[in-house]
Amino acid sequence: MSFSVPNSLFWTIALFIVGLALTCVAGDKFVDAAVAIARRLKIPQIVVGATIVSLGTTLPEILVSTTAVLGKAQSPEIGVGNALGSIICNTALIAGVGQLIRPAKSVKSNSVSWRFLFFVGTALLLFLSVLFTPAHDFINKDGETDHAVGTVLRVIGIVLLLGFCVYAFLSIKLKDSDGEAEYDETEKLMPLWGALLMLAISAAALFVGAHLLVDNGVVLAEMAGVEERVIGVTLVALGTSLPELVTTVTSAIKGQGDVGLGNIIGANLFNMLLVIGLPATITGNLVFTSKALYIDLPIALAVMSLLIVPMLIRKKGSRVQGGILLACYIAYAIYSFAVV
């Protein structure tokens, strides 16, 4: 499924702009609905952010990476690059911007620490599983022979999907350790059915808006002659991460920072557990290039550590930390375009 009109530059740009507007509006409503659900059910905001919000905002990545590795014109570099690039974008760009706008004032270490360890363990599993599988050649999107340093086998894909189930279970089971969120009891709350309906509609709108951005953005990038991996780790990753960007920024502005932080952590985990796990399970042979394994994955782990470790030590974030993360993303983007 594609929303692009490649034969018309005007319509490609127009649909790109429509996608941007739709994503921004839907992201705002998505945050409102998620917070309303948390208040109605007395669930800590970080749990909602790390599960419901993360799953909704990760839907574009799931679809893009799955469709990228299926069909005759396979694009595994876009599929894997989208997943890893989204983690880097979520952490270095989006979380960095969030900390610059409003630094986290009180980080719940119990809630954040186990999720971070889950992320690190998943990243190491992914790295080792690819490292110890045989390298082989594959046919890329342009019909040319390319080289994969290793693959994510179906059994690892299944393990990643099971890891998602474990993560979702732990997020619900350990919600008491996340602390109780303080809500204004006098504030008029949205009905639960209304919040759930708004959440579903907003998630669908985010899904469509992100596809408008990605499909038409890729067309524009290809017109400029940008290589496939760079498109995956930058433009596609940024486009599919726009829901997280809107969610994090609007959460920070509205003073619901825990939703934004939980969304980033949850979305990063979902990018490995689902965005890589699902296509690996379907295809049974998801290829990794050397740049994806030795550059993108270590950078994803490094920026995630830069975001979380200082927060666990200081129990809060800072604008300096946000600035460093943002600088890391700018350097990574420049490197991706400069080094082929």
- Whether 254 maps to a domain, the answer reads yes
- Whether 36 maps to a domain, the answer reads no
φ/ψ (deg, to 5) at 214: -65, -50
Average of per-residue pLDDT across 123-149 = 76
| Angle formed by the axes of helices 192-223 and 237-253, nearest 10° | 140
Percentage, residues of the chain above pLDDT 90: 17
Domains in the chain, number: 1
What is the Cα Rg of the chain in Å?
Answer: 19
Average of per-residue pLDDT across 250-275 = 75
Quote the pLDDT of residue 148: 74
pLDDT above 70 for 214: no
- Whether 69 maps to a domain, the answer reads yes
Query: Where does residue 189 rank: exposed (0-12), middle (13-18), buried (19+ CB within 10 A)?
Result: middle
Quote the pLDDT of residue 5: 45
Average of per-residue pLDDT across 260-285 = 84
Query: Where does residue 52 rank: exposed (0-12), middle (13-18), buried (19+ CB within 10 A)?
Result: buried
Which band of pLDDT confidence, cut at 50, 70 and 90, is reported for residue 186? very low
Average of per-residue pLDDT across 71-83 = 64
Measured torsion, CA atoms of residues 262, 54, 69, 217, in degrees rounded to the nearest 10: -90
pLDDT above 90 for 126: yes
Those residues whose C-beta lies under 8 Å from the C-beta of residue 319, and which sit 6 or more positions away, are 99, 100, 103
Per-residue pLDDT of 308-333, as tens digits, reads: 999 888 888 888 999 999 999 999 88
- Whether 204 maps to a domain, the answer reads no
Average of per-residue pLDDT across 96-121 = 83
Strands 145-148 and 136-139: antiparallel
Average of per-residue pLDDT across 118-124 = 95
- Whether 27 maps to a domain, the answer reads no
- Whether 61 maps to a domain, the answer reads yes
- Whether 270 maps to a domain, the answer reads yes
| Tokens representing residue 57 in the block | 């905002």
Average pLDDT for the chain: 77
CATH code for position 146: 1.20.1420.30
Range of the domain at 291: 46-184+224-338
**Who wins on pLDDT, 103 or 91?**
91
- Whether 313 maps to a domain, the answer reads yes
Percentage, residues of the chain above pLDDT 70: 65
**Who wins on pLDDT, 336 or 52?**
336
Per-residue pLDDT of 8-60, as tens digits, reads: 778 877 887 787 778 767 766 776 787 787 777 777 666 666 666 666 666 66
pLDDT above 60 for 204: yes
pLDDT above 60 for 176: no
